[in-house]
Chains A and B, each alone.
Chain A
Amino acid sequence: MIFDILETGFAGITWGAVMMIIIGAVLLYLGIAKKMEPLLLVPIGFGVIISNMPLAGLMDTIVNGELYNYYIPGGEPVGFFARLFSAGLESELIPIFIFLGLGAMTDFGPIIANPKTLLLGAGAQFGVYFAFFLALVLGFNIYEAACIGIIGGADGPTTIFLTNRLAPTFIGATAVAAYTYMALVPIIQPPIIKLCTTKKERQIYMKPQLREVAKKEKIIFPVIAAIIIILLVPDSAPLIGMFMLGNLLRESGVTDRLADTASNAMMNMLTIALGLCVGAFMSAENFLRLDSLLVFCIGIIAFAAATAGGVFLAKLMNLFIKEKINPMIGAAGVSAVPMAARVVQKLGQEENPKNFLLMQAMGPNIAGVIGTATAAGIFLGMLQ
């Protein structure tokens, strides 16, 4: 008999695989129907579904001569996705090059015009360290706790970069948690902001127009920033270096072709590969574990603490500065660019229709990207 039921995937189906296929379908639903981070959730969701198909062998890995149907970090990749994962994520190429693209897409104008907003990015990193200690209290080891904490920074590539180095088996859980919470910024942040501020504080008016930033300042910024940050935190060099190079390509005015490729074609290709890799890693064996669920729970606490940390730092700054800042812009210190800044803009308009906080909030928002990458570098330097 040419066709035998035992040769089809039906023979190898397990409850775990079915569960993961359902999770993949939910991610697809969130991405397509609810438009939550569709560029990431669609490839992740589809990756989850096809890599959990029995007998497909997409993530097959050999460890000590034995073949496993899911990815095991350090093993010999056999399946197509396993090879993609090994070459792209385990080698750290994808997250690092994504930072190049992010740099090419970022306008540092708001933080150059108003450098004190860089501090608000630091305030939001409070969430990273709060979640780090919380994870330790809940019984995770120090490497896992660092990877869980970094979810609070709301930066997908940084989370993947750090987890891959410190606790590779958690990469699926931390990456999906980071991207899911980034997508849920408009739902998670407003109640926390309202809880941490009074109506009067939310109504504080800020001038929408920042000072004009000279072209030369924009060119000097990535160079100076790379030198200062890498001197202070050498382990942040891959992320910060590529981020600042991407920005220099954009601002130098002589490498438009490279900046265009980095921010469009390259970024799109990497996003597809990243999504598929993260999704494919989410096998039942790697994902359906109690600690993965705990990662999700601590991740949301990290995110909430990061939002609150930024708001409280802004309130603290208001005690010392003459021209008061609206504390809501502190919430944009998480690095979900530009969703967090948009949330602040929307809330600001609701409270005081004269307020246009978007450009003011972009400063802490971009500072959050730099802060999270720096925090990841510090974790690496201290723990590796």
Chain B
Amino acid sequence: MTGVDWGQALQVGGFGFLLVVLVLASLAVCMWLIGWLFNKSTGIKTLFTREKKTSPEDNQDNEPQEEPEYNPQYKIDNIERYE
């Protein structure tokens, strides 16, 4: 245990914490952008697919499908493998 250089300590602690926040914030912005681009491109693709299906045969598979129910238990069980 020794004397402390508080100037250096403040630099390491203060600047270090800000840098961690900056890194994670940059990553969040990047991922949000990528997600947004993906959603947009998926949206455009869906639009084109819908436009193509104009004949009665194409529309046969357009019957409303039942949405699968969300089962949180499944995901909780799934996550056991981390241990």
Contact = CB atoms under 8 A, between A and B. Distances in A.
Given A140-B1, A141-B2, A224-B34, A382 B11 contact: yes
Nearest to B5: A142
B26 A228 contact: yes
Most chain A CB within 10 A, of B2, B6, B20, B35, is at B20
Given A217-B34, A232-B26, A358-B72, A133 B9 contact: yes
A375 B18 CA distance: 10
Chain A at the B interface: SS class: helix
B27 interface: yes
Contacts of B30: 224, 228
A132 interface: yes
The interface centre, meaning the residue of A115, A125, A209 with most chain B CB atoms within 10 A of its CB, is A115
A105 interface: yes
Interface residues of A, number: 58
Interface string B11-35: 1111111011111111111111011
Contact of B31 (A118, A144, A209): A118
Contact of B70 (A209, A367, A383): A209
B18 to A, nearest CB: 10
Given A105-B82, A141-B1, A208-B70, A232 B13 contact: no
Given A125-B20, A229-B23, A232-B19, 14 more contacts: A105-B82, A129-B13, A139-B2, A208-B70, A214-B38, A217-B35, A217-B38, A221-B31, A221-B34, A232-B22, A233-B19, A358-B79, A362-B79, A378-B20
Interface of B: 1-2, 4-6, 8-9, 11-17, 19-32, 34-35, 38, 42, 70, 72, 75-76, 79, 81-83
Q: Which 9 A-B pairs have the closest CB atoms?
A: A139-B1, A356-B72, A118-B28, A115-B28, A115-B31, A122-B24, A122-B21, A378-B16, A115-B32
